[in-house]
Amino acid sequence: MYTGRTIFSQLMDMMPMYEFGKCVERYRGNYKVKSFSCRDQLFCMIFAQLTYRESLRDIEACLRSMSDRLYHMGIRGRVSRNTLANANEKRDWRIYADFAQILIGIARELYADDDFGLELDNTVYALDSSTIDLCLTLFPWARFRKTKSAVKLHTLLDLRGNIPTFISVTDGRVHDVNILDELIVESGSIYVMDRGYLDFARLYSVDQSGAFFVTRAKSNTKVRRQYSREVDKSCGLRCDQTVVLTGYYAKRDYCGQLRRIKYYDLETEKLLVFLTNNFTLDALTIAQLYKLRWQIELFFKWIKQHLRIKAFFGTSKNAVKTQIWTAISAYLVVAIAKKRLDLETSLYTILQILSVTLFEKSPVLKALTANSYGCDSSNSDKQLELFT
C-alpha cells in the first residue's frame, strides 16, 4: 500500500512555490500574518476550485473533516471561513495574478509544439471577453446596467494548447476594444478577434508593431478595391481583394492597405467578410484562422461550467479578482500536470477524478491513469474538451 503523500500535495509540487514566495514578498502578502499564510490561502482556493466548493462554509467543513491530513497537503494554518474571507478581502489580488503569469509561462513552453489545426510557424492568439453577471446590491462597485452588476473577463488565448496568456478583469462597462491598449503586441504573431475590436487606429498600431490581425468587417465599413485575386469558389471563397479605407475617420486612422476576403460558410449559410493586414497567407487559411477563434468561446464556456467563477466567496473587488486568478491557476496547474504526466485523458475527466481523490495517498499518475473508472460515451461527446 502506498503511504506517501496525498494527490493534492503531489499536484501542488508542480507549481514553483519559490516563485510564489517572490510574488508574496513583492506585495507584502504575509505582513503581520501569524498563522494563515498566502500559501495556505492559495492552496485552499485551488482546493475549492478543483472540488467545486460552493461557499466558504463548504470549504471549511470539507477541509476540517480531513484536519489530520492538512499538514501533509501543504496547508499549515488553521482553516476557518472567517480567516479565509478576511484573506480574500485584504491580501492583494496581484499576488495571485503575478503567480498565474508564471504558470502561464510554464504551460506555454509545454504546449509550444502542439498542433492547433493549421500548419503555421506564427503564434496565433484569439482575443475576446466574457461577461459574468453579478447582483447589483452585493457588488455595487461593478455596476453594469441600471439593475445589475457585472465583471468582464478579457482574455488573450494562445491557440497552441488553449493557454490564456493575458487576462484583464474589469467592470462590465469597459468596452472590449479598450483592451487593445493594454496588450503587448508580439511581432510576427497573428491576433484573431471579432467585430467588437474593429478600431482602425488601434489596428494600425498592431500593424506598425509587426504583428498581423484577422477580424470581421462591419456592414458600414467603406472601402475601395484596388486589386482582386483569383479564388476557388468551390471551397466557399467569394473574393480576395486589396482595399483601402474610404471613410473619413477610418482613412485617417489607418492609411495603409488592407486585405478583404469574403467567405460563404455553408454550415451557417452566412457570408462573412474578413479584414486582415496579412498578404502572404492564402485566403482559405485566413478564413480558417477566424473559425479557430471559436476556441476562446469554448474556453469561456468550459471554465464557467467546471470552475468556480460565476458565484463568488466574497463581494469586494479584491475578493472577486483573487478568486478569478486562483481559478485560472487551478486550470493551469491541471494543464501542466496533464502534459508532464503525458496523459491522454481529457481535462474534464482529470478534474472529475481529482475532485474525489485529492485526499488519497496514491501516486498521482496511477490515480489519473487507473482503468477502474468508466466513461459513458453517450455523455462524453457533449463535454467540451480543450486538451485532447
Each residue's pLDDT tens digit, 132-152: 999 999 999 999 988 899 999
Helical segments of 129-179, H only: none
Q: What is the pLDDT of residue 332?
A: 95
* Average of per-residue pLDDT across 218-238: 93
* Average of per-residue pLDDT across 75-94: 92
Share of the chain above pLDDT 90, in %: 73
Question: How many DSSP H helices and E strands does the chain contain?
Answer: 15, 9
Task: Count CA within 13 A, CB hemisphere, residue 44.
Answer: 34
What are the residue boundaries of the structural domains of the chain, listed by start? 7-96+314-380, 195-280
Residue 145 neighbours by CB distance under 10 Å: 11
State the greatest distance between any 2 C-alpha atoms of the chain, in Å, as a whole number: 75
Q: Tell me which residue of 153, 198, 162, 159 sits closest to 180, measured CA to CA.
A: 198
- What pLDDT band is residue 35 in, cutting at 50, 70 and 90? confident
pLDDT at 339 over 80: yes
pLDDT at 2 over 80: no
Distant-in-sequence, close-in-space partners of 320: CB < 8 Å, separation ≥ 6 = 139, 142, 151, 169, 312, 314
Prediction pTM value:
0.89
β 190-193/124-134 pair status: parallel
* Average of per-residue pLDDT across 212-238: 94
- What pLDDT band is residue 326 in, cutting at 50, 70 and 90? very high
C-alpha cell at 131: 461577461
Q: What is the pLDDT of residue 32?
A: 87
Distance (Å, whole) CA 388 – CA 187: 29
Q: Tell me which residue of 356, 320, 333 sits closest to 133, measured CA to CA.
A: 320
Q: What is the pLDDT of residue 384?
A: 52
What residues pair up with 132 in beta bridges, in sequence order?
Answer: 151
Q: How far is CA 278 from the centre of its chain?
A: 26
pLDDT at 93 over 90: yes
369-374: Cβ within 8 A, 24+ apart: 369/343, 369/345
